[in-house]
Amino acid sequence: MYVPKLMSLAIRGLLLVVALGIVSVTVLRGSSCVVFGSDGIIVVEAGQSIAEAVNEASAGDTIFVKSGVYSESAIVVDKAVSIVGERAESTVLDGGRTAQVLFQVVASDVLIENFTLQNTNTGPLAQAPAIRVYNAAGVRIQNVSVLSATVGVELRSSNSTEIAYCEISESSSAGIYLREGSDNNIIVGNTIANNTRGIVFADTASQFNRMYHNNFENNTQQVWSFGGVNYFDDGYPSGGNYWSDFQAVDFKNGVNQDQNGSDGILDESFSSDNYPLVNPALNLGVQVNGTEFVVEVSANVTLVTWSFDVSGKSLNLLVGGQQGTTGAFRMEIPVGLLSCGNLTGWVVSSGNNGSEKLQYLPMQNAMNTYLYFTHSGGGEGEIRITGTTVLPELSLLTTLTIFLVATALTCGLARKRSHATSLS
């Protein structure tokens, strides 16, 4: 008979925690945007103004932009806010082919995420980026698709910025343009394709930038550099980038690429990339109990669909390829998501119910496990990668619920013992 009371106490505790986290609910003056929470969440609906929301926001606020097409430009981001689209493919900012810039970021610690940005001025004299970061640091641009701009992302006098998991294509000048001493930036996991130039370093002071796990595909000129020292790989076994215009063999592995056996990295360096990838890299977003992870797959086959099984501690891939071919896979799995106590303890299998066990080459650094394996089935098939530990198995809410129930149970038992003692 104590169970309903204990659950009631747990639920009341959870409601109290949630209530404490919600400090204010405020309607912005002159706008139909609504702010929730102590830091502020400003919701922008289709037909409203992103620029107005930025103007009304305070440092630390999140501006959540609902799906829709927004015909705006020259949005000046002058405070440390997060501007997050609902979905990258459906939250579109269109410059109408006249915009000189879409987002002008002049504050540090800004996040721009989940947008399609398109159609800046691409005239012969234009230098019109979709995003310009000017004299700022700690800016993050991720999961943004840029289509048909003069420049996809321009960094001017900016450092410690991260451009991650973006798709930048059809830029008339450059996909990414660094100038005026933009240094110590990270460019990772992007597809930079079909641009006049993939990436430009416009001066010798724009240096010490690191680029890895990007796909440089079919740019007229992949890299243009005026000088300076920049890095195009993340060391071994993490690796470098995929270059569509570079071909070599993959028979070796190891830091010096002198050990027998393939590892998904070409045996020869390419310009400043010491560890170029054999195949393009694809990023899979995995969410476990509210924690986001990125699993990277570099393969020569098509990934049809995929899933992550928490209870089975496995990543499951459905792939398609040409019959009679051998599929080659290089997987990067965050150790914070899925791991094995023993590096050889992984199980890689194919076929229904994982009936066929595959041989693999395991590698690891502090952040990720790397598994290279081949699958000779060809055509459509299932691949299962199984570890032994899913680290974020309990969410904060689940842990809090357990704690509250345990506390209530302890208090209830203590009261019961006290009552029984008083009766005796």
Q: Which pLDDT score, from 0 to 100, does residue 324 have?
A: 73
In order, the DSSP letters of 145-187 are EEES-SEEEEEES-BS-EEES-EEE--SSEEEEEESS--S-EE
Rounded distance between C-alpha atoms, residue 378 and residue 324, angstroms: 5
Rounded distance between C-alpha atoms, residue 44 and residue 183, angstroms: 34
pLDDT in tens, 298-323: 999 999 999 999 999 999 999 987 77
Average pLDDT of span 107-135? 95
Residue 146 tokens, joined: 């840029």
Q: Which pLDDT score, from 0 to 100, does residue 391 have?
A: 81
pLDDT in tens, 25-73: 333 433 445 444 445 899 999 999 999 999 999 999 999 999 999 999 9
> Rounded to whole angstroms, what are the CA distances from 50 to 18, 57, 79, 152?
28, 11, 14, 20
Report the amino acid identity of residue 418: S
Q: Which pLDDT score, from 0 to 100, does residue 39 have?
A: 59
All domains of the chain, ordered by start, with CATH?
23-231 (2.160.20.10), 283-390 (2.60.40)
Strand partners, 79: none
Stretch (H or E) spanning 368? strand 368-375
Chain centroid, CA 227 distance in Å: 29
The answer to whether residues 141 and 164 touch, using CB atoms and an 8 Å cutoff, is yes
